[in-house]
Amino acid sequence: MSPNIPEPRPSKLRLSLLMFAAVYPLVTVLLYLLMPLTEGWALWQKTLVLAPVMVITITYAIAPAIQRNFGWFIARLPRPARM
């Protein structure tokens, strides 16, 4: 690396906090939507519906958005200039 560019040191704590901030509201909204539609279902059945939706959303939407918008924060680098 160039001597002027700091070595990235990714922080799992920062990534965890950002993931929590994004995933918690999504889980809450999905539960509010799912509960009336699955009244009377066993917990494992509700989870079987919720888990794939969460995994797909985290993999294809939340994680890429966090990396794109907050990668500098997670890597403990200076904030890039906005254009």
What is the domain partition of the chain in residue ranges?
12-74
Question: What residues contact residue 73 under an 8 Å CB cut-off, 6+ apart?
Answer: 14, 18, 79
- Residue-wise pLDDT for 37-57, tens only, equals 999 999 999 999 999 999 999
Q: Which candidate, 80, 75, 81, 79, places its Cα nearest to that of 7?
A: 75
Could you tell me the end-to-end alpha-carbon distance of the chain, in angstroms, rounded to an integer? 25
pLDDT in tens, 3-45: 676 677 899 999 999 999 999 999 999 999 999 999 999 999 9
